[in-house]
Structure 1
Amino acid sequence: MVRAVILYEREPDPDRYARHLEDFVDKIECDAFRHGKAFGAAVGEPAFAYQAEFEWADRDAFKAAARTEEFAASGKDAADMGIPFTVTFVDLSQLS
């Protein structure tokens, strides 16, 4: 399983983020998309305020999605929101 984890430094404006989701989430081929506000940390304050993540079954599915114009446009639109963020791609394994 592959995930793209997007960590925002601060919470996006709700109206602007709703537009972002409406314009892009359904256009990116993935198995799941989730997002939400960080509410705590094990020690101290959370390192980020908001998270979004896409999920794919494997690297081939991820690579196919990542090559699309919609994927690139989603990243550009996220940057246009003006909130510093990071994107990390994670290859997850599952224990039986």
Structure 2
Amino acid sequence: MVRAVIQYEREPDPERYARHIEEFVPPVECDAFRHGKAFGSPFGEPTFAYCAEFEWADTDAFKAAVRSEAFAASGKDAMEMGIPFTVTFVELSE
């Protein structure tokens, strides 16, 4: 399983983020998309305020998706929200 984990420095405006989700997530080929507010950490405050993740069954599906225009457009729109964020690609094993 492969995930793209996006961590936002602060929580996005709910209306703007809803528009981002509605317009830019469905065109990205993935098995799942999730998002939500960070609420804590075992070491005090969390290092990010909001998190989103795309999920794919394998690296081939991941590679196809991240090379797509839809994935690039999603990233471009996320940057236009003006909130600093990081993206990390993770391969998980069972």
Superposition TM-score tier, normalisation by shorter sequence: over 0.9
Runs of 5+ consecutive residues of structure 2 not aligned to the other structure: none
- Structure 2 counterpart of 1:83, which letter? I
CA RMSD of aligned residues (A): 0.4
Residue identity over aligned pairs, in percent, reads 79
Q: What SS does structure 1 have at the residue aligned with 2:89?
A: strand
1:38 — aligned with what?
38
Residues 8-50 of structure 1, C-alpha deviation per residue, up to 9 Å, x if partnerless?
0000000000000011111100000000000000011000000
Counting only pairs closer than 5 Å after superposition, residues 1-96 of structure 1 correspond to structure 2 as 1-94=1-94
Runs of 5+ consecutive residues of structure 1 not aligned to the other structure: none
The 4+ residue runs of structure 1 with deviation greater than 3 A are none
Compute the TM-score of the two structures, normalised by the length of structure 2: 0.99
- Structure 2 counterpart of 1:10, which letter? R
Deviation, structure 1 residue 67:
1.1
Compute the TM-score of the two structures, normalised by the length of structure 1: 0.97
- Structure 2 counterpart of 1:93, which letter? S
Counterpart Cα distance in 2 of 1:43 and 1:54: 26
